[in-house]
Structure 1
Amino acid sequence: MEGQKRRWRSWTISIKLWMAMTLLILVVLGGLGLTITWLFGDFYLQQKLDSLRTEATEVSAQLAAIPSWSEKLSLLETFKLTSGTQLVLLDPQGNILVIAGSSTSKNQGLGLTGPIGEIGGLLGEWSRPLLPSDFFTDDYLAQVLAGNTISIKALPVNGGGQAMLIAAAPVGIKPVKAVVLLGSSPIPIQESIATFRRLIVYASLIAVFLATIVSLFFARQVTRPLALMQRSASRMAKGDFLPIQGVTSQDEIGELAEALNFMGESLKNHMEWLSQQKNLLQGIIESISDAVVMLGCDGSILYANDTARLLWQENDVELQDRKTQIVNYLQKMRQETDQIENNSTLTLGLQVLQVIMAPMTETEGFRGHVAVLRDITASLRAEKSRREFLASVTHELRTPLHLIQGYLEAIQDDVVPKNQRGEYIDLVLEEAKRLARLVKDLQDINWLERGQSIQPVPLDLENFLNEVYQRFQGRAQDLGLTLEVAKGSGAITADPDRLLQVFINLLDNAMRHTPRGKAVRVLFAEDEKQVRFSIQDEGEGIPREALPYIFDRFFRVNKARTRKDGGMGLGLAIVRQIVEAHGGQIKVESDMGSGTTFVITLPKEANYALLEYKSY
């Protein structure tokens, strides 16, 4: 049963409508045919009974008018009965007096016979050897003797349906002298009814066939617009809002198609508006430099912009542990964030994130949370660097100022003897010069960061390296060192003064840390696009742990050394600023006891207008 229901639901509306119309036509025509055949069968039988009754009445009236039985018998010979009709004349006691009639000829004489002995000869042409008197009971005889004319639908003796139609009329009235029985077989009428029924069946079949074709065509015509609208609705569900084509009727179906087209146009406009709003919102979120993460009611990530995905991705590979750490932190923070905004920090290794989370509310209640993760590592480092720089500058300024102040106060208070004042004045002058160098170095760093001090011109490398050698050859001899400077060729685009400042700083450091009898070398190499300088010494070297900080401001490898011996820690910071201002790179290679090598790589032709100057 359940399977039949599913199959019925799976049929198309066209088939259902066609089947319903066909079944309705079949029931109507079948019922009409049955009703008509039943009514006509009864009508023909009753009409035959009425005909027999009339004929029996006429025969009995004519026989009653003749007093003599011989004349009555003669009159019976002149009667012409309907084809298939038999006449039996009974006495008042029900005995057969005369049997007459024929079942084949329609207009032949009665052919009178003897009372009982010749019955078999008279019935030779009947299909059944039965007489009307066989069905005429004593009850029927009593009714006729009472003066009534009756009609009988007689059943056969052995059953099986109607066998004979009988009409009985009295001859004479009080007393009744005889009874006239007229009988006729119902077989011709039944054959006529069967023929009529066959005609009804054939006509019904033809009508059903034609009605099936017409109903199928009508069902298709009715359901075709519905099928078009169904396919159009399916397209609309998939995002295709093309209007419905092919529905031209002006009835309710046409109005429905117009309504669907209007709905599709409205949905299309609404979807375009939503798409524009989505693109606008997504563009705004993606353009935000901070990471934006949207969480659902269950704490799962619904959306994350590119900046957020970079927090747990590296080279398009997802770092599951890092993502899990972020998600767990956000879920924990989500549980603490109810109606108000929450603010905290998350540390991921060396990275520090400021997390701001707020609930996304709607009229029906909370639907999730949005979190903004801002990387404040650089700002924290910048703030730390600023504080350290301010502390370092303050410290570096305070020492020479205190010395100058102390020496001057001692001279002013005559604490220092006159013969020693010149020595103290020299010390004050030396500290003032050191203070001036510090200020100059700070100015250089500021200018380099702002990109205002580079003035590139074509620079001949041979002359430049020769100048470097001439400048430091005398000092190398004084320190007992060997200075080796490679011979260069060609030219680069650079600021000669600033580049010379780089070599001065590096060679000065190299000679200061190289023991007597050792060598300091300046090596040179080039290719098509760049040149490379290497400044090598044979000094004590730099510890590995100090190499990452060697270019930081105010950093000194040996903090026990005096500022007079070791400088203020700004020289290498200035060197890196100058090299990078030229579009180049500098790196250091060193190990304790193996000397130190600074490698400078510069482009031969740099676009200085596009250089980005960095602050450290």
Structure 2
Amino acid sequence: MNKRIKIFQSIHFKIVIVFVFLLIVALEIIGAYFVGQLETQMVDNFQEQMRLRVGFLDNNLQPLLKKPDSKNFESDVRRLLTDFSAKNVIKAEVIDGKYYIVGTSDYQENMVGRKSTDFDVKQALLVGSEITRQYSDESTNERVWKLVVPIISDDNKVLGVINLESNIESVYDQINDITIIFFRASMIAAVVTVILALFISRAITKPISEMKKQAIQMAEGDYSGQVKIYGQDELGQLSLAVNNLSTKVEEAQESTEAERRRLDGVLAHMSDGVVATDRRGKVVIINETALDLLNLTQDYALGRSILEILKIEHHFTFRQLLETQEELILDFSTEENEVTLRGEFSLIQRETGFISGLVCVLHDITEQEKVERERRDFVSNVSHELRTPLTSMRSYLEALNDGAWKDPEIAPKFLAVTQEETDRMIRMISDLLNLSRMDAGKDVLSLEYVNINELFSHVLNRFDMMIQSNDKPEKPFVIKREFTKRDLWVEVDADKMIQVMDNIMNNAIKYSPAGGTITCRLVETHNSVVLSIADEGLGVPKKDIPHVFDRFFRVDKARARSMGGTGLGLAISKEVVQKHGGKIWLESAENVGSTFFIALPYVPYEEDEWE
């Protein structure tokens, strides 16, 4: 905001004041010196003139005072004094050596013949030297200069004195008149100086004002203006420099803005999060990816400590991050989402070595950590699942090798267990190979239109026969069917779908209680065919439902292993259903039962389309 400058604060006003002040000081010094010298010179001239006249009078009076008894003495003295009288002479007296006034110029005849009582006259007669004094007349209040000069004969005898009082006020009046003239001339000079100072200050401040306006425009981002150059002096060169600066700043600003836009574009489209701080650790830049990863808003993040937004303030200080620049694994997981980030730190450092901030690049390694964890779990599970039957087989084979093969009752049992464990390992390896082919994309589906009603019934019929063929079933089951009466034709790989249904039915039979009912449904929606298999078993805890389709996951590991499960059936089922473009999910409640749902894409058709 351009704040208005008061008149007495402006440089325009200050230049005028400085000029006037310098003029007044100069005139004061010159005036004081000039008037002082003038006063001294005029007073000296006046006094010198009076002395010359007194000296002339002295020369004429000496012969007369040598013969005071002459017949014409008084008339001659009066004549000389009358001739001596002038405009500035107030009084002129001649006193003889006996202190008697022998003549006066002020026509006070009654004073002639009397003794003088003037102290200065007496002192001049006594010491024989000139006495001068200046005083102010009480009646007229004018300055009077008094000169008492002894009349000395050729033989150095004091014959008398001349007492002269002259009005010196006229000299001071002349000095005052000259001072007034000088003062008036000074005032005229001051007025002329102010006018000239205004023009000069305007000539100086106008380019400065234009440069100020240009600077304000530059501060507001407008670089289009140019300062007018009025001359080739320093101000002209400064104006030219401001114009060049404006051009260069505009180019630099455009370059900086282009770089900033490019940087914003890079940061906005980066798959990694970027957080930059100042030298105090406060966040100054954060891109959208980082905000999404940290679940923050830009208004909240900017200005806060990087330690706070990364939630590491209790483990690290900002100085430690600057010094060590460690790579950190940051866990931002919640109950709903699992989020794991890797933070890599690097310094923002100038060429001088000054550290002006820190940059943190955040990589989302949630999937990597999950894959790594699954890999470790997979290796651990495979090792465990293979070790258990191999250990069992080794024990039985060692027993047979030690002679148990000779026992006709024990040997067949040991061989049967060995065969079962072998079959179990073959099934596991077969399932692993199937999953491996699916992961590699090498498992190609052989799609054909199949009547899903008949396919599902075929699977259930086999399980009915298995239950009925068992003479002593441990758990008698009832398989209940609730199918739509409409024939549903779906494009599937029949063998793969039979494998999925077998896996789910096996689980339903394994985990259902004795005498339980397994309800199998087949329904049609507007764009899907939904198969469901519900049991009345123990159910799955709510926390385990999201993991039932993970590889090697078991809710009850001991029971599942004793029943010969590999923990891969549901994982294979999920892969197969997803390859068909469908979905598979579980709904379960503990001590109530579980229901598996399979939804496959379905496009209804009219029978005449096939004809």
Aligned residues: 552
Query: Is residue 207–residue 227 contact of structure 2 (8 Å, CA) maintained in 1?
Result: no
- The aligned residue for residue 115 of structure 1 is 109
| Residue 197 (structure 1) aligns with | 179
Query: Is contact 1:41-1:190 (8 Å) kept?
Result: yes
- Please report how far the alpha carbon of residue 46 of structure 1 lies from its aligned counterpart in structure 2 after TM superposition: 2.9
- Report the alpha carbon displacement of residue 197 of structure 1 after superposing the two structures with TM: 1.8
- 3-state SS of 2:109 partner: coil
Report the CA distance between 1:597 and its aligned residue: 0.5
Cα 1:65–1:561 shift into 2, 3 Å: closer
- Tell me, yes or no, if structure 1 residue 163 matches structure 2 residue 161: no
Partner of 2:523: 524
Distance 1:74 1:293 in 2: 116
- Measure how far apart 1:133 and its partner are: 10
SS in structure 2 of the partner of residue 481 of structure 1: strand
Q: Which amino acid aligns with 1:83?
A: K
1:90 aligns with 2:98: no
Between the aligned partners of 1:295 and 1:288, the Cα distance in structure 2 is 23
Q: 1:344 to 1:44 in 2, by over 3 A?
A: closer
Partner of 1:581: 579
Find out whether 1:447 has 2:437 as its counterpart.
Answer: yes
Task: Report the alpha carbon displacement of residue 47 of structure 1 after superposing the two structures with TM.
Answer: 2.8
1:469 corresponding residue in structure 2 = 457
What amino acid is aligned across from residue 517 of structure 2 in structure 1?
K
Identity %: 20
From 137, 147, 151, the counterpart of 2:121: 137
Task: Give the Cα separation in 1 of the matches to 2:197 and 2:446.
Answer: 96
Task: Letter of the 1:464 partner, please give it.
Answer: I
User: 1:369-405: CA deviations, max 9, x gaps?
Assistant: 98888756325413313313542674599699999x9
Summarize the Cα distance change of 1:492–1:472 in structure 2 as closer, same or farther, 3 Å threshold: closer
In structure 1, list runs of 5 or more residues that go unmatched.
1-9, 102-112, 120-131, 606-616
- 1:327 matched to 2:313: yes
Q: What is the TM-score with the length of structure 1 in the denominator? A: 0.63
1:211 paired with 2:193, answer yes
**Distance (Å, rounded) in 1 between the aligned partners of 2:206 and 2:443:** 83
Which runs of structure 2 are paired with 1:149-160 in the superposition (5 Å)? 152=132, 154-156=134-136
Q: Distance in 2 between matches of 1:558 and 1:223?
A: 92
Q: Which moved more, 1:86-95 or 1:309-318?
A: 309-318
Q: 1:570 to 1:97 in 2, by over 3 A?
A: same
Q: 1:577: Cα distance to partner? A: 1.1
Query: Per the alignment, do residues 208 and 151 of structure 1 end up closer, same or farther by CA in structure 2, a change over 3 Å counting?
Result: farther
The answer to whether the aligner puts 1:386 opposite 2:385 as a matched pair is no
CA offsets, 1:526-584, max 9 Å, x none? 35xx5362513334243427645432334455666798965543321111112333454
**Quick one: structure 1 residues 380 and 13, their matched pair in 2 at CA, closer, same or farther if it must change by over 3 Å?**
same
Q: 1:195 to 1:133 in 2, by over 3 A?
A: farther
Going from structure 1 to structure 2, the CA distance change for 1:215 and 1:536 (only over 3 Å counts) comes to: same
Matched residues in 2 for 1:341 and 1:393: separation? 43
Change over 3 Å in CA distance of 1:342–1:324 after alignment to 2: closer
Partner Cα separation in structure 1 for residue 41 and residue 557 of structure 2: 138
Q: In 2, distance between residues paired with 1:540 and 1:154?
A: 142
1:521 shift after superposition: 2.1
Within 2, Cα distance between the matches of 1:531 and 1:191? 128
- How far residue 484 of structure 1 moved from its aligned partner, in angstroms, is 1.9
One-letter code aligned to 1:40: L
| CA separation of 1:601 and 1:222: change in aligned 2, threshold 3 A | farther
In the alignment, the residues of structure 1 paired with residue 318 and residue 83 of structure 2 have an alpha-carbon distance, to the nearest angstrom, of 123
Instruction: Say which is worse superposed, 229-238 or 32-41, in terms of deviation.
Output: 229-238
Bigger mean CA deviation after superposition, 245-254 or 170-179: 170-179
Shift, 1:152, TM fit: 4.6
Q: Please list the CA deviations of residues 398-428 of structure 1 after superposition, one character each: whole Å capped at 9, or x if unmatched.
A: 699999x99xx99xxx9999xx99x999999
In structure 2, stretches of 5+ residues that fail to align are: 1-7, 65-69, 468-477, 604-611
**CA deviation vs aligned residue, 1:221-245 (integer Å, no higher than 9, x gap):** 5466667778888999999999983
> Whole-Å Cα distance in 1 between the matches of residues 144 and 181 of structure 2?
25
Partners of 1:117 and 1:378 in 2: CA distance: 142
Q: What is the identity, as a one-letter code, of the residue corresponding to 1:533?
A: V
One-letter identity of the residue aligned with 2:135: L
Q: Does 1:533 align with 2:530?
A: yes
Is residue 101–residue 112 contact of structure 2 (8 Å, CA) maintained in 1?
no
- TM-score, scaled to structure 2: 0.63
- Conservation of the 8 A alpha-carbon contact between 1:344 and 1:355: yes
Q: Deviations over 1:65-101 (max 9, x none)?
A: 9994587489669959543435645252454444446
Aligned-pair RMSD on alpha carbons? 6.4
User: Paired residue for 1:7?
Assistant: none
Question: Structure 2: how far apart are the matches of 1:85 and 1:54?
Answer: 13
Is the Cα–Cα contact under 8 Å of residues 447 and 453 in structure 1 kept in the other structure?
yes
| CA distance in structure 2 between the partners assigned to 1:244 and 1:235 by the alignment | 10
Partner Cα distance (1:84, 1:295) in 2:
92
Structure 1 residue identity aligned to 2:377: S
